């Protein structure tokens, strides 16, 4: 048994197909399958069972996957002890598309300046639920998301980020936009029933407004394109204003101002040293 095989097992459990797991590891699929078969033969147990085009983790496999993740976490922590900045450790940070620009633009440069030998891998997640799942599944050491998060995670607030209205050009709106003007406005919104949608609905109920959900989707990568098409406006973070402006869209604040707390979150367990160091850097340079 070796660390490479453990990485293969964890990747296969996360991706649920040998093909996707191999692609994520940049290896050939037959090599991945062969390595897992060799490990199963050595352990005398079946870790994965075929299911359609994918695989499912067996009962024995779930235990092995859990222990493999713990072993790999321990290895990363040992690697982080390497002195003189020559560590080959990897820090995995889950983030949403909305918050990634701030992570990449401010937090990562500050951290990398102090820890140049640590590789930082951003686990891209589609929304807060994705960040939470990445932490729970141990696909990420830390997560950057807005609050609230479930009670099984620890949160470290960094800043309060403003929510703004992003609209197609040509709309006759005051600046700032009174909340009452959202009544009847065509908006891009998350799908009904999602946690994010429930938060928006609570906000609208608080101010007694009923926007028109013209487009409902959770694929945030398409939100700005939808606004650019002129179909609707969008409520999003101030941190995305630059991207929206480059796209030719108009950004306006709301009145009264609406803000969300942005935080770094992690599981309730001992963090690897490199994750603790990132947290210290982030909290030291965070905005109130």
Residue 169 lies in a domain: yes
Does residue 41 lie within any of the structural domains? Answer: yes
233-237 and 186-189 strand pairing: parallel
Average model confidence (pLDDT) across the chain: 87
Beta strands in 111-238 (DSSP E): 119-124, 142-146, 153-167, 177-178, 186-189, 212-216, 233-237
Domain that holds residue 3: 1-59
Q: Is residue 241 part of a domain?
A: yes
User: Residue 163 forms beta bridges with which residues?
Assistant: 237, 258
Flag whether pLDDT at 216 surpasses 50.
yes
Per the domain annotation, does 107 fall within a domain?
A: no
Give a yes or no: residue 75 inside a domain. Answer: no
The pTM (predicted TM-score) of the whole model is: 0.63
On whether residue 92 sits in a domain, the answer given is: no
CATH of the domain at 17: 1.10.10.10
- Given 41, 59, 77, the domain boundary residue is 59
pLDDT digits (tens, 9 = 90+) for 130-182: 898 888 878 899 999 999 898 889 999 999 989 999 999 999 999 999 999 99
Going through 126-152 in order, the beta strands assigned E by DSSP cover 142-146
In this predicted model, what pLDDT tens digit does every residue of 3-61 receive, in sequence order? 889 989 998 998 888 888 887 676 788 989 999 999 999 999 999 998 877 899 999 99
Provide the number of structural domains found in the chain: 2
Residue 101 located in a structural domain: no
Give the CATH number of the domain where residue 240 resides.
3.40.190.290
125 located within any domain: no
């Amino acid at each position: 048994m070796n660390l490479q095989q453990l990485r293969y097992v964890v990747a296969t459990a996360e991706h649920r197909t040998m093909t996707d797991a191999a692609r994520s590891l940049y290896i050939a699929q037959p090599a991945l399958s062969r390595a897992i078969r060799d490990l199963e033969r050595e352990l005398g147990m079946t870790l994965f069972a075929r299911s359609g085009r994918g695989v499912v983790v067996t009962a024995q496999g779930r235990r092995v996957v859990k222990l493999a993740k713990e072993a790999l976490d321990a290895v990363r922590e040992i690697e982080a002890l390497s002195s003189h900045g020559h560590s080959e450790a990897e820090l995995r940070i889950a983030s949403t598309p909305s918050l990634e620009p701030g992570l990449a633009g401010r937090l990562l440069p500050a951290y990398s300046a102090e820890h140049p030998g640590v590789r930082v891998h951003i686990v891209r997640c589609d929304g807060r639920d994705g960040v939470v799942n990445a932490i729970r599944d141990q696909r990420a050491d830390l997560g950057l998301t807005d609050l609230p998060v479930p009670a099984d995670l620890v949160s470290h607030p960094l800043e309060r980020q403003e929510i703004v209205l992003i609209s197609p050009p040509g709309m006759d709106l005051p600046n700032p936009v009174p909340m009452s003007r959202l009544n009847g406005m065509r908006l891009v919104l998350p799908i009904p029933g999602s946690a994010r949608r429930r938060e928006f609905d609570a906000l609208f109920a608080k101010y007694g407004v009923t926007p028109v959900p013209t487009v409902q989707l959770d694929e945030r990568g398409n939100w700005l394109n939808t606004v650019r098409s002129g179909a609707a406006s969008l409520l999003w973070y101030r941190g995305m204003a630059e991207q929206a402006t480059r796209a030719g869209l108009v950004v306006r604040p709301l009145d009264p101002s609406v803000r969300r707390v942005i935080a770094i979150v992690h599981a309730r367990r001992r963090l690897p040293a490199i994750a603790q160091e990132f947290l210290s850097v982030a909290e030291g340079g965070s905005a109130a």
